[in-house]
Amino acid sequence: MENILNFYQATETIATGGQPTISQLTEIAEANYSLIINLAMSDSDNAISEEGNIVSSLGMEYIHIPVPFEAPNANHLKLFFSVMDSFENQKIFVHCAINARVSAFMHQYLTLKKGVSPDQASSPILIKWLPTMDNSWKSILDLELKDIE
């Protein structure tokens, strides 16, 4: 799984990355992940139109939460938190096109819902992105739990 674009093991049970290939979806299943969450848009680079069917055929659940890169909002994050909480005792793989959306969402989930320190919740992708991040994504990182629930 380490060959998945921008792969990052966020916690013992949560891994993130960019868009996996079809063969990498099989690797995720073989690593005993129960759920794949896709935050990319259907027309994102390298999107797999039949990803949901492939993931299901591999015995995993698939949830697509399309988050427009230019316009993320608190409702997207609220839905993401709800899905993460519903599967919290299972292995989850979360991806988008390059692991940017996911890095921001995971940072918020880990800090706001799981009490992880901001430093520990920051993936290498997020750290690299912060200096050039636009205001729509900075506003996602500024949200507090009361803004989401």
Half-sphere exposure of 69 (CA within 13 A, CB side): 14
pLDDT (tens digit, 9 = 90+) per residue, 39-98?
999 999 899 999 999 999 999 999 999 999 999 999 999 999 999 999 999 999 999 999
What is the percent of the chain with per-residue pLDDT over 90, rounded to a whole number? 97
State the Cα–Cα distance between residues 146 and 144, nearest whole angstrom.
5
Token pair for 43: 């027309």
Phi, psi of 37 (to 5 degrees): -110, 130
pLDDT of residue 21: 97
Phi, psi of 45 (to 5 degrees): -55, 135
CATH fold, domain 8-144, is: Protein-Tyrosine Phosphatase; Chain A (3.90.190)
